[in-house]
Amino acid sequence: MRKLVLLSILVIALGSGLVFSLGLPTTIEISENITISVGPGTLDFGIVAPGTEDNPSTSPIEFDANGSNVNVTVEVTEVTGDDDTLFDDIEVETSPDTWVNIVGADVTMICDYSGGTCVFDPVSWDARLDVPEGLPAGTKAGTIVYTVSGPT
């Protein structure tokens, strides 16, 4: 019987042209989303001679965080390879005329939220390599390990 009474009131209210508005509090929590691309696929130094210094890579290391919705930090945590002494000597230019060992090098890309979504300026590091005297000939392969994180 109670439902029938409420229905009758609703019908009368709509029939008389009255409009009711109800407010419903709403909460939405947006999760952090980190998207990062690192290129090139292979950091290539070309053909180098033992005992030479500052051999440049054929292309820079590039980081792009577009698609993320928070500030993004990328740090090189390890470099391993066929000959660790060779890979220990990779340096990157993290800012103009500032060369640092690649292990421990980091960059924080800041979200520019002015247009309604986060936009990031891509970051580019030039890389160079010192080749120890007496290093045997042949192709040397290694892996650069990156740690990516958001705000802490």
Distance between CA atoms of 145 and 8, rounded to whole angstroms? 70
pLDDT of residue 9: 40
Distance between CA atoms of 78 and 16, rounded to whole angstroms? 74
pLDDT of residue 1: 36
Tokens of 22: 């109800």
Q: What is the pLDDT of residues 3-43, one digit of tens each?
A: 433 333 444 445 555 666 778 888 888 888 999 999 999 99
For the range 105-110, what are the long-range contacts, defined as Cβ-Cβ under 8 Å and sequence gap of 24 or more? 105/75, 105/76, 106/73, 106/74, 106/75, 106/76, 107/63, 107/73, 107/74, 108/71, 108/72, 108/73, 109/63, 109/65, 109/68, 109/71, 109/72, 109/73, 109/74, 110/71
**Phi first, then psi: what are they for 91, rounded to 5°?**
-120, 150
This prediction has a pTM of 0.77
pLDDT of residue 99: 97
**Closest by CA position to 102, among listed 72, 135, 71, 79:** 79
- Within 86-122, strands assigned E span 90-95, 98-101, 106-109
CATH code of the domain made up of 31-149: 2.60.40
pLDDT of residue 22: 77
> Domain residues of the chain, as ranges?
31-149
pLDDT in tens, the chain (152 residues): 334 333 334 444 455 556 667 788 888 888 889 999 999 999 999 999 999 999 999 999 999 999 999 999 999 999 998 776 788 889 999 999 999 999 999 999 999 988 788 999 999 999 999 998 998 899 999 999 999 999 86
